[in-house]
Amino acid sequence: MLIRLLCVFGLLLSVAFAESLDETRKKAESGDSFAQWLLGGAYAKGNGVPKDSAEAVKWCRLAAEQGFAMAQSDLGLMYKNGEGVAKDSAEAVKWYRKAAATGDAGGRFNLGLSYANGEGVPEDLIQAHFWLNLAGAAEDETYTTFAKISLARIEAKMNAEQKAEAMKLAREMFERETTERLAVAKARAEKDAADKAAVAERVAAIKAEAEKRRPDRYPVPTYQVRPVYPFESRAAGRAGDVLVSYTIDVRGKVINARAVRSSAKEFEAAAVAAVEKWKFQPAMKNGKTIECDLQAPIVFTLSEEN
């Protein structure tokens, strides 16, 4: 069976601690490629669901078509072994190659074996050595040992020139991929730096605007009234509170009063109505009256009513 599918079920067991197979299915149905791959593995082995090779292929294909490399490699193996689909070595190689292009160790390992055995492609020991060498150098320990064993067997059939050519191809690939990874890392770092700079600029602008709007003298209340306690709330013995946001215009009049938070909506209208009646000496900035935004907590307590 698939080498990596041996690991899938360990993953399924670990995932089970955080979510049920039903939740994995929901994610798969919503298009999550990792969940699709896991669900395909479950059907391949009958883990939590009836074993069904056709369903395994279905879910693995969905993940593979989204570019999920491990699913691409495993779908290739399904074609190689005729599991849920008709055997088709050329189709298997197509999916191995897609996975291998992303750097996936499984795809590279399976593509290397295909070249070594002449399955789906003409036998080519140089290409076999090249891909197996890449798989063996990957961080995926699932394939490292198998790749090295296969590599040793292939090297026994190769002459010095073939080995040199294979090593040259691998070295060029290593260098190219290293350059690409460094470029990606650099681009990510530059983007992070740009994002941080943009955030810092925005924060500075907000602070500058806040400072610009900060009055030299805040509004001074000249008239305030208590809110009218809602009749039904008082009769039921209910207390509450409302946070009212409002603006004091240049004449000292309250405008744009609104409830921004409350313990119960039944108190909001009364709180806003009371604040709208308040009057102030307007805020001052550089000797001129300016508008000023404020908030006030309005508390309704039965003890104050009595």
CA dist 114 to 111, 117, 250, Å? 5, 5, 81
Q: Two tokens at 275?
A: 């604040």
Residues spanned by CATH 3.30.2420.10 within the chain? Answer: 220-305
Closest alpha carbon to 60 in 86, 82, 42: 42
Residues spanned by CATH 1.25.40.10 within the chain? Answer: 5-176
Q: What is the pLDDT of residues 16-50, one digit of tens each?
A: 434 588 899 999 999 999 999 999 999 998 888 99
Q: Two tokens at 277?
A: 């009646």
Residue 253: strand pairing partners: 279
Separation of alpha carbons 2 and 106, rounded Å: 10
CA dist 89 to 13, 101, 103, 122, 199, Å? 32, 18, 21, 11, 53
**pLDDT tier at 5, thresholds 50, 70, 90:** very low
Q: Tokens 């041996």 — which residue?
A: 6
- What is the reported pLDDT for 242? 97
Q: Tokens 């197996």 — which residue?
A: 132
pLDDT at 144 over 70: yes
Neighbours of 262 (CB within 10 A): 17
Which of 8-12, 79-83, 198-202 is the least confident region? 8-12
> In CATH, which of 3.90.180.10, 3.40.109.10, 3.30.420.40, 3.30.2420.10 is domain 220-305?
3.30.2420.10
Closest alpha carbon to 12 in 59, 58, 79: 59
pLDDT at 14 over 50: no
**pLDDT tier at 304, thresholds 50, 70, 90:** low
What is the value of pTM for the model shown?
0.62
Q: At what angle do helices 33-45 and 21-29 cross, to 10 degrees?
A: 130
Mean pLDDT score, 113-139: 93
Average pLDDT, the chain: 90
Question: In CATH, what is the architecture of 5-176?
Answer: Alpha Horseshoe (1.25)
Q: What is the pLDDT of residues 169-207, one digit of tens each?
A: 999 998 998 898 899 999 999 999 999 999 999 999 989
Residue 297: strand pairing partners: 243
Separation of alpha carbons 151 and 49, rounded Å: 37
Strands 292-300, 254-262: pairing is: unpaired
Separation of alpha carbons 294 and 282, rounded Å: 12
Q: What is the pLDDT of residues 209-234, one digit of tens each?
A: 888 878 999 999 999 999 999 999 99
205-234: burial string, b at 16+ Cβ within 10 Å, e else: eeeeeeeeeebeeebeeeeeeebebbeebe
pLDDT at 123 over 60: yes
